[in-house]
Structure 1
Amino acid sequence: MTEQSAGHLIVESLKHHGVERVFSVPGESYLDVLDGLYNSGIENVVCRQEGGALYMAEAVGKATGRPGVAMVTRGPGASNAFVGIHLAWQDSTPLVLFVGLIPLDHRMKEAFQELDPYAWFGTQTKRVFVLDKAERASEVVAEAFFAATSGRPGPVVVGLPEDVITDMVDRPVVPRIPVTEGSVSDQELADLTHAFSTAQRPALLLGGPRWNAVASQQVTAFAEKNGIPVISDWRAADRIPGNSPVNAGELGYRRTEESVAVLKDADLLVLVGGTLSDIPTDGFTVRQEPDATNWIVNIDASLRQHSGAVTRQILASPVAFGHAVADLDLGEHPDWSSWRDPAVAAHQEVSRIPDNTGTNAEGTADMTLVMAEVLKRMPEDTQITFGSGNHTAWGHRYFPNSFYPSQFSVRNGTMGYSVPAAVALSLQDKDRFVFSIAGDGEFLMNSQELATAKQFGAHPLILVMDNSQFGTIRSHQETRYPGRISGTQLENPDFGVLGQGYGGYGARLDNNGDIERVIGEAMTAVQEDRVPAVVHVVVDRSKVMPDG
């Protein structure tokens, strides 16, 4: 063992855990860790605001199933980072945040930028650590990564007092702590097979964390082989391909009536990975009957966030469940086609780009036609990001989600996610096409991370849908306070010029006649010139959602 500082040992431990990049905003409180990153082989992606850094780390956690890593300083830095912690908590995303802290001797004196990490983060994290002993540096990293990934994943915060991380230690790197996937026993599989064999209206509901591409393929194959309708949780539509013959739709806002009927009327509902939370159950009002038959396949023994009956829990991740059912043939069972097909047909219809999108106001472009042009040109392995707002409906409805993971969004409703997430995914695989749909209000919450994209070689396509308002809140106002619009109107800059200012491609799109040219130029910039592209799509203010 070579003696080194605790800060350098932390970096060595991150390498041992397979961390390829961290997302940071620098601060004097963790200078020794920054020094450890120098020539470490770990890319330090320096972001322009801590919220953007946390969104990037969260997107990496969603993409890989391994903790995304962010680093910020105390006080204001930690404050800005909290939005990403809340996202990772509600979205069950593995994430480890390192926060620089004041020296030990300065505690409890309201020193410059002092905070209590336990009080600040304790309710929204799986664990909070403070490295009070330099000798525990590698051990704390291992425990933090284990906590972030085991059971129901989530965020973990590690506080780093600036004096402790400079202490010299001669401790080894602590190995990874393995995380179990759980399992499906032979008896559980036999009982589940029997439950399907007697069901008249079975369904699978897919969602939650702990998926990978293989699990998605295995569960899809099981459902297709046996003709079981599959509904998806809100913002979990990529667990099954959009064009699967058993895909019965997503239970988000603007769901089809047929998808809701599957949730309501199933006499056997098998939830894989997720729970019955407030969104699929329409505010805890759907499928709340105490005698509903709900089998829940979930590695979280506490079933946090679940509401409604629990008939049986199988303590297994989607990975373990996919392995168990990969070759499972249910044999003789009732004909489920008349139960399945109406919801599948409704999902296919609502996912189809309409032949006629109607007319739009002069000086605007039709967002549906813009989306159609991107879909026509994009590669099959494209990933999409979007945050919160009515603009997300175009991604929900029309993006094909042909593989896992392809859909990146937020279940906690945070705004400002679309751009940082797209930057992170583009850095994760620089040969992949990544595009984002951002609302005009959302875009300006983190558009500065386009500077990060240009600096580090990310090149996503960003469509900014400009209706000069916070559209979702405006819609709520129209419903509850008709004719009294307050606090939701915006005056925007030219987003295309802003994209150019950041060193990428930028264009304003305000008529349908230019859609083919502008989208073609933007995708050339992204795919060949490898620079980020911003397309400012000026839309008809009255069209807050796709038609139909």
Structure 2
Amino acid sequence: MTQEINDTPVSAGHMIVESLSQHGVKRVYVVPGESYLDVLDGLHDSDIETVVCRHEGGAAYMAEADGKMNEVPGVAMVTRGPGAANAHVGLHTAWQDSTAMVLFVGLIPFEHREKEAFQEFDPKAWFESGAKRVMVLDHAERASEIVAEAMFAAVSGRPGPVVVGLPEDIIKLPNDGVLHPVIPIANGGMTVTDWKALKDALLGAERPLFVYGGNDWTTQGAERFTAWLEAHNLPAAAEWRCEGTVPFSSPSYVGPIGYGRPAFTHELLEKSDLIVFIGTVPGDVITDGFTTRQNWDKKNFLVTIDPTLRGRSGPVSHQIVAKPDVFVRDLIRMDLPVRDEWRTWTNSLRADQVAFATAPSTEPGEGISTMATMMANLVARLDEDAMVTFGAGEHTNWAHRYFPTNSYASMLSARNGSMGYSIPSAVAASLNYPGRQVVSIAGDGEFLMNGQELATAKQYGATPLVIVMDNGEYGTIRTHQERDYPGRISGTQLANPDFAKFAEAFGGVGILVDRDADIPAALDTAFAATRNGDFALIHLKVEQRVKAY
């Protein structure tokens, strides 16, 4: 690839913007700061959309969600000190979720460094333990090169977050105008030895299982993988909060594995005589705290581009160093005989999943509103390509169980268990896919951690439907509390505002529901609003101790 040269010299800040555009970045999520004004000025005339957020944590979550949905890393921009600190939660999410993301942080002027200047901090000291790379632009002429290196680092190998520090004075200096080429990444692939080993292992297995996860797929790869599974009557389970790569409706999809997993999958890892992990590894969440499938007599094939197998536990029979799409490209050339044992095994697992995931009656009950009625009526009103977003808490189990995710990246969540993710990710999803149904299921505690980003939704025309399940507590922690300290409720109870009025104050449609009978009409009103270009919020008051499973 040849280098592109601008006719006239530009500032380093403007070169950063031009380089991001060259890499295919469509939008950036920002909270402005005086430390990177020259970059903001470069965005003024750029084809990149600048989404101004209300909190750095919200901006970082939006960028992380962008990285999950697209082949290009998500990009956030924040200012020094407090701004960087607020954005840290999004970096931790990207690190544990293996999401390609680049965070640009404005810094104090170069000449003020190490004098405890206003909002000074050391980005390497703060971020190096939870980012793939931390770079600081100390030479204006390297602006485009630094962007290329950051974008490469975020997507190469196991994806993850990268931090780029931008000293306030350096980004204003003139640049030579040369755009650094996009750096190609290695995708790996199956060797002949890999291919033969996997084929022999599959032919020798009576109860094989594929477990998929991660954010490194494409829609085409997911579709090819699903077709191959179905053609061979082979089962696939989803890593926690990775549902949708194999569609919810596929006869090969047998459920999620992870926290809150349904009872019928508890023994699935032990019952399988061969497991092929794709895009993920058998880590803490999948293996119930490193307790399941730890015997080295078990047969595990691990397909990941990360040669270090970071986060892995248990046996490794064979590693295939490949990104999911490239592995699938090679896998679909493997035409295997369809065995009766596979058909019986898959059909049995699938029957359990279908029974588990079938929504209850849409007929409302009497009395207080319930999530069971909400989910049944919600599912009945969803389009085939509907998306769901959520953060962390027991309310998420309802989405895991019932929401029909039928395409890659139709479920956006935080696998590091981070609260506050639901609304920012819903805004990002709606901006990426205008006109598509985006539903965010939030808990009452989780919602207020970034609910202010509904202002961002209104400003940029995002139209998610937000369902806030209000049970007046931090439910997950209450559950652990009841287990370890029964009858001693401490620090988990909440007194909530009227979330419907909150939504109305931000310019959306708010609906308060506290009777089960009112749920169908509330959903009709909410979806009518989203079709007409508004966001909508249903404040659903429920009892405290009702669980999805």
**TM-score, structure 2 as length reference:** 0.97
Q: How does 1:221-240 map to 2 (within 5 A)?
A: 221-240=227-246
Q: Secondary structure at the match of 1:123?
A: helix
The equivalent of 1:454 in structure 2 is 458
Alpha-carbon distance in structure 2 between the residues aligned to 1:258 and 1:193: 28
The equivalent of 1:411 in structure 2 is 415
Given that residues 505 and 531 in structure 1 are in contact (C-alpha distance below 8 angstroms), is that contact kept between their aligned partners in structure 2? yes
The code of the aligned residue for 1:540 comes to E
The code of the aligned residue for 2:155 comes to T
Q: Structure 1 residues 340, 262: closer, same or farther in 2, change over 3 A? A: farther
Q: 1:352 aligns with which of 341, 358, 375?
A: 358
Runs of 5+ unmatched residues, structure 2: 1-5
CA displacement 1:210-259 (0-9 Å, x = unmatched): 11111111111221111112121111121211122122211122323432
The equivalent of 1:288 in structure 2 is 294
Given that residues 197 and 334 in structure 1 are in contact (C-alpha distance below 8 angstroms), is that contact kept between their aligned partners in structure 2? no
Given that residues 222 and 328 in structure 1 are in contact (C-alpha distance below 8 angstroms), is that contact kept between their aligned partners in structure 2? no
Count matched residues. Answer: 543
The equivalent of 1:397 in structure 2 is 401
1:117 to 2:120 alignment: no
Alpha-carbon distance in structure 2 between the residues aligned to 1:65 and 1:278: 27
Q: 1:186 aligns with which of 185, 192, 209?
A: 192
1:428 to 2:432 alignment: yes
Alpha-carbon distance in structure 2 between the residues aligned to 1:357 and 1:456: 36
Q: 2:477 aligns with which of 463, 473, 481?
A: 473
The equivalent of 2:513 in structure 1 is 509
CA displacement 1:515-540 (0-9 Å, x = unmatched): 1111101100001x211111100011
The code of the aligned residue for 2:540 comes to V
Runs of 5+ unmatched residues, structure 1: none
The equivalent of 1:531 in structure 2 is 534
Cα RMSD for the two superposed structures = 1.4
Given that residues 231 and 248 in structure 1 are in contact (C-alpha distance below 8 angstroms), is that contact kept between their aligned partners in structure 2? yes
Q: Structure 1 residues 462, 314: closer, same or farther in 2, change over 3 A? A: same
Alpha-carbon distance in structure 1 between the residues aligned to 2:83 and 2:362: 49
Q: Structure 1 residues 332, 396: closer, same or farther in 2, change over 3 A? A: closer
Which stretch of structure 1 is more off in the superposition, 316-325 or 389-398?
A: 316-325
The code of the aligned residue for 1:536 comes to H
Q: How does 1:480-491 map to 2 (within 5 A)?
A: 480-491=484-495
The code of the aligned residue for 2:533 comes to R
Which stretch of structure 1 is more off in the superposition, 234-243 or 279-288?
A: 234-243
The code of the aligned residue for 2:545 comes to S
Alpha-carbon distance in structure 1 between the residues aligned to 2:525 and 2:344: 46
Q: Structure 1 residues 184, 396: closer, same or farther in 2, change over 3 A? A: same
Alpha-carbon distance in structure 1 between the residues aligned to 2:144 and 2:545: 56
Identity, % of aligned pairs?
A: 51
Q: Secondary structure at the match of 2:266?
A: helix
Alpha-carbon distance in structure 1 between the residues aligned to 2:207 and 2:456: 50
Alpha-carbon distance in structure 2 between the residues aligned to 1:273 and 1:409: 17
Alpha-carbon distance in structure 1 between the residues aligned to 2:156 and 2:194: 22
CA drift of 1:131 comes to 0.1
CA drift of 1:358 comes to 9.4
Given that residues 210 and 235 in structure 2 are in contact (C-alpha distance below 8 angstroms), is that contact kept between their aligned partners in structure 1? yes
Given that residues 93 and 153 in structure 1 are in contact (C-alpha distance below 8 angstroms), is that contact kept between their aligned partners in structure 2? yes
CA drift of 1:450 comes to 0.4
Alpha-carbon distance in structure 2 between the residues aligned to 1:221 and 1:185: 22
The equivalent of 1:308 in structure 2 is 314
Q: 2:524 aligns with which of 520, 525, 532?
A: 520
CA displacement 1:240-283 (0-9 Å, x = unmatched): 11122122211122323432333112221111110001111000
Given that residues 435 and 460 in structure 1 are in contact (C-alpha distance below 8 angstroms), is that contact kept between their aligned partners in structure 2? yes
Alpha-carbon distance in structure 1 between the residues aligned to 2:393 and 2:172: 45
Alpha-carbon distance in structure 2 between the residues aligned to 1:375 and 1:504: 22
The code of the aligned residue for 1:458 comes to A
The code of the aligned residue for 2:406 comes to S
Given that residues 95 and 154 in structure 1 are in contact (C-alpha distance below 8 angstroms), is that contact kept between their aligned partners in structure 2? yes
Q: Secondary structure at the match of 2:244?
A: helix
1:247 to 2:253 alignment: yes
Alpha-carbon distance in structure 1 between the residues aligned to 2:331 and 2:114: 55
CA drift of 1:198 comes to 1.3
Alpha-carbon distance in structure 2 between the residues aligned to 1:320 and 1:72: 35
